[in-house]
């Protein structure tokens, strides 16, 4: 491992790409210290802490949204929206490609069509920035977090114009940073920016564990004992290993290539594999499920608040709203069951959209390949669909386990969600998948130049005399 890291800095091109990527990520993190004009940052911190402690719907929304924004919503900065508007626009266009014929035709055109879709995605990103920026500024105004000098009509106009412009420009700038990393850096820029924001929250979680550590074995009120810290460390290692396993797990289907005879020579006839990922949907099912579950929690909380103001506190309406609000909080049994159901639903939904067995069977037939024992065409497509349905069931089960661990740990151990979020869920899966992709990219650059990679497998140079085979019979 150490030798592979040293080899990175021996290659000028790879070294420059790594330094450029680190510089862009540093610029991205600097933007989180530039506050928005007109926001009372002190009151912002107090309001966010109160919403988190009360476990209200808005508190959960702020905790969950801060995973994707790359920072904490206890501070409102020019990069407050993060890269999430671009990711949202990309998801929307990916969904539209399965239902809109025009987008399907552009996708089939190759690089030119993909460039056009990317251009439309950028325009959609700007629109998403305007919408999300206005929602965020409206929330700040409703919470009374605007400075007094901006409360007059002219000041409010300046506040909204400056805020929307700054938040939109910040997200567009992050989108541009991601494209620069793709072009001049190590690649996968948008995902690296998102991962850097998630990892930047880890020191805060470690600080909380350190400040609330107790030397006693058992946990006390507001303190985490030795056994509790040991459990958190062990659970983190176990969940990371499970996340890596589910990310790289594949179902390999044997593929036979047809033989072609040209003159006296025979080509093809090789045997290889078609890898199908067990977790084909990636992290999308958890994102969709967690996002949807925020609304019932917030809605039932609002109903309970409205019912509590009724003149008859013992009415069935008050009891019903209290029961629903108590059972649809994070970590409760109905909440967990509903989350698992949604994860399974969106796993099959997303896999159906992004994976087409008919197109896969057609590509195999056009390339002169086939699955042994199956006829090319509809029979192959039917077999691929059956295999994908079975492995999606297993992949969704792994996702469900990883997704519910943070909420259960947060509830049972009485620790904040921003600490337990590193034991599973969306953030951990994103970090693991992007980290594996980064290692593979660096590994490819090292092996391409005949350097030893991270897997510690020596690569012999093709031009060296020891790797040549004798040309004689």
Angle ∠(57,45,404) on CA atoms, nearest 5: 40
With a cut of 90, say whether residue 248 has pLDDT above it: no
Burial of 43 (0-12, 13-18, 19+ CB in 10 A): middle
- Kindly state whether residues 315 and 225 are assigned to the same domain: yes
How many percent of the chain have pLDDT more than 90?
A: 9
Structural domains counted in the chain: 2
Q: Give residue 418's domain range.
A: 217-423
Torsion, CA 110, CA 115, CA 120, CA 125, rounded to 10: 120
- Kindly state whether residues 189 and 286 are assigned to the same domain: no
In a domain, 124, yes or no: yes
Distance of CA 411 to the CA centre of its chain: 23
- Kindly state whether residues 114 and 257 are assigned to the same domain: no
- Kindly state whether residues 182 and 109 are assigned to the same domain: yes
Q: The domain spanning residue 373 has which CATH number?
A: 1.10.3370.10
- Kindly state whether residues 133 and 168 are assigned to the same domain: yes
pLDDT of residue 469: 42
In a domain, 116, yes or no: yes
- Kindly state whether residues 293 and 184 are assigned to the same domain: no
- Kindly state whether residues 171 and 249 are assigned to the same domain: no
- Kindly state whether residues 329 and 375 are assigned to the same domain: yes
When mean pLDDT is compared over 165-169, 197-201, 230-234, 310-314, the highest value belongs to 165-169
Angle ∠(118,124,125) on CA atoms, nearest 5: 90
Residues 360-374 pLDDT 10s? 888 888 888 888 888
- Kindly state whether residues 28 and 64 are assigned to the same domain: yes
In a domain, 206, yes or no: no
- Kindly state whether residues 264 and 364 are assigned to the same domain: yes
Burial of 152 (0-12, 13-18, 19+ CB in 10 A): exposed
Nearest residue to 32 (alpha-carbon basis) of 77, 97, 94: 77
Residue count of the chain: 473
The 3-state DSSP class for residue 394 equals: helix
In a domain, 452, yes or no: no
Residues 110-139 pLDDT 10s? 788 888 888 899 999 999 999 888 888 887
Rounded to two decimals, what is the model's pTM? Answer: 0.78
In a domain, 410, yes or no: yes
């Amino acid at each position: 491992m150490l030798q592979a890291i040293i080899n990175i800095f021996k290659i000028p091109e790879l070294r420059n790409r790594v330094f450029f990527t680190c510089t862009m990520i540093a610029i991205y993190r600097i933007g989180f210290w530039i506050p928005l004009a007109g926001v009372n940052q002190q009151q912002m911190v107090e309001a966010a802490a109160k919403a988190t402690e009360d476990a209200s719907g808005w508190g959960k929304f702020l905790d969950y949204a801060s995973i994707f924004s790359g920072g904490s919503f206890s501070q409102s900065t020019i990069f407050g929206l993060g890269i999430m508007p671009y990711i949202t626009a990309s998801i929307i266009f990916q969904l539209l490609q399965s239902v809109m014929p025009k987008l399907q035709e552009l996708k089939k055109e190759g690089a030119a069509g993909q460039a056009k879709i990317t251009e439309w995605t950028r325009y959609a990103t700007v629109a998403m920035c305007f919408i999300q920026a206005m929602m965020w500024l409206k929330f700040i105004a409703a919470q009374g977090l605007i400075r007094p000098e901006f409360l007059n009509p002219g000041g409010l106009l300046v506040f909204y114009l400056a805020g929307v412009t700054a938040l939109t420009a910040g997200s567009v700038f992050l989108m541009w940073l991601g494209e620069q990393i793709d072009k001049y850096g190590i690649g996968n820029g948008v995902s690296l920016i998102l991962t850097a924001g998630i990892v930047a929250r880890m020191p805060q979680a470690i600080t909380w564990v350190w400040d609330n550590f107790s030397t006693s074995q058992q946990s006390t009120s507001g303190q985490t004992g030795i056994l509790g810290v040991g459990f958190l460390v062990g659970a983190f290692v176990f969940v990371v290993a499970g996340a890596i396993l589910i990310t790289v797990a594949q179902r390999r289907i044997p593929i036979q290539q047809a033989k072609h005879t040209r003159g006296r020579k025979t080509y093809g006839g090789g045997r290889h594999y078609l890898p199908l990922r067990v977790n084909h949907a990636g992290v999308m099912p958890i994102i969709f499920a967690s996002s949807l579950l925020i609304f019932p929690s917030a809605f039932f909380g609002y109903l309970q608040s409205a019912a509590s103001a009724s003149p008859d506190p013992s009415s069935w309406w008050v009891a019903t709203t209290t029961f629903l609000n108590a059972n649809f909080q994070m970590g409760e049994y109905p909440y967990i069951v509903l989350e698992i159901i949604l994860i399974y639903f969106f796993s099959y939904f997303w896999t159906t959209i992004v994976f087409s067995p008919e197109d896969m069977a057609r590509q195999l037939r056009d390339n002169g390949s086939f699955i042994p024992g199956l006829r090319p065409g509809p029979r192959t497509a039917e077999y691929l669909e059956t295999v994908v349905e079975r492995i999606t069931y297993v992949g969704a089960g792994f996702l469900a386990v990883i997704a519910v661990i943070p909420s259960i740990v947060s509830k049972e151990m009485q620790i904040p969600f921003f600490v337990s979020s590193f034991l599973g869920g969306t953030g951990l899966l994103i970090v693991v998948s992007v980290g594996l992709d980064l290692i593979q990219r660096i590994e490819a650059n090292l092996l391409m130049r005949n350097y030893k990679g991270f897997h510690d497998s020596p690569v012999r140079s093709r031009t060296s005399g020891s790797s040549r085979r004798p040309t004689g019979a």
